[in-house]
Structure 1
């Protein structure tokens, strides 16, 4: 029987999810939520490393976060588009795992793939709920499914969050999961080209951004999210 997920975090590239919402995922795993990750590409156009090293790093990251489900659709890094072919592949994953919540790339960001992925995932979530769109896996027809919520994590740009999750107890785990991608971040022994994310400052920024978002809600660390739709509350319980 297929595992139903509480949360499916989707990223254009391996490491997007860890950087954007790794602390939240670790916290949800600790709360016994079923969490999975879907990477759209293998990050093969990355300036440093290779798609083979990214795969190894991604596997190390989910060990750190305690996540057992991670899939990669192997879309073309930099060149995937929002069309029926790509939507159908994402719909198959959504219907396979039936997540209640999807976490997706920032709506607009420095890397164009992030914004493209955000819109692609948003459209796919909607279309996945239409029963007249037929998909199948292993010759078995899938049921339509639309996630209850879709939220976008914050990436390079300093987006104003619609809400912030307290990750005070999970900042170290988030940082460790991000640094599992050794090929992508600061490494004094690396002979590969310098990029905007290979400086010592970028590594520090993972921590100080989380600490600043935590400051805004009176905690030690946080991760911010935006919502493409209004957020409704049933009551005033469970606030930080």
Structure 2
């Protein structure tokens, strides 16, 4: 190899290295919700944008959407799988029962072990003031795990069906989801058994309201716990 070829090759490698240095680091993002559909409705746009940045995104569901005494037909698990495929995420289930969430020492410790194994850089979960007991339970489980894990990940709260489920939520950070709204819609409508037309209409109104606050067509709002590490939202 002559000197000129060597210099050209070195220059090419230098450009490549520079481009690689500019790429955002791959992070682990966990979005926790009470039921299949909650993460998708509450922050499906943010999930899509995080996945598009190359982040490893997990949707963590407290239960499979089947109440006690009902047959485990796998319908909602399959719907969650389809929604995650659309959003480029991975589904994971805690294993509790829809409508019968348990929050005690044993469940706190088991949940912390599960979350520790995922090694998240950021976790999104329900705002704790919520009219649904399963949403409140998931929020408490995440918060306790965050404390057990020495506040090692950024902790964000999101809203679902604001005013109907989530109440008294005042976001301080926003993600513009205008461009990925069609994908969020498809992920939510993957939950065919859950009347997505009715629920998505309300969530769409919330996203438009948050968009007005941010200055875009549609946005999702969040509150980050100030005692945790920072995390750059898309």
- Normalised to the residue count of structure 2, the TM-score between the two structures is 0.77
Rounded Cα–Cα distance in structure 1 between residues aligned with 2:230 and 2:115: 25
1:60-114 Cα offsets, whole Å, 9 max, x none, are 00111011x2211211222222222211222122221210100011211121211
Q: Which residue of 2 aligns with 1:75?
A: 96
Are residues 1:174 and 2:195 paired?
no
> CA 1:80/1:65 → structure 2, altered by over 3 Å: closer, same or farther?
same
Q: Which residue of 2 aligns with 1:18?
A: 40
Structure 2 residue ranges without an equivalent (≥5): 1-25, 164-168
Aligned with 2:124 (options 88, 95, 103): 103
Rounded Cα–Cα distance in structure 1 between residues aligned with 2:148 and 2:94: 18
Alpha carbons 2:42, 2:203 under 8 Å: kept? no
Structure 1 residue ranges without an equivalent (≥5): 130-145, 187-199
* Pairing 1:87-236 to 2, within 5 Å after superposition: 87-129=108-150, 146-158=151-163, 159-186=169-196, 200-229=197-226
**Aligned-partner SS, 1:115:** helix
**Aligned-partner SS, 1:88:** helix
Q: Quick check: 206-215 or 7-16, which moved more?
A: 206-215
Q: Which residue of 1 aligns with 2:30?
A: 8
> In proportion to residue count, which structure has more helix?
2
> CA 1:50/1:209 → structure 2, altered by over 3 Å: closer, same or farther?
farther
In our comparison, the structure showing a higher alpha carbon Rg is: 2
Over the aligned positions, Cα root-mean-square deviation in angstroms equals: 2.7
Alpha carbons 2:174, 2:221 under 8 Å: kept? yes
Alpha carbons 1:81, 1:116 under 8 Å: kept? yes
Rounded Cα–Cα distance in structure 1 between residues aligned with 2:213 and 2:198: 22
- Normalised to the residue count of structure 1, the TM-score between the two structures is 0.75
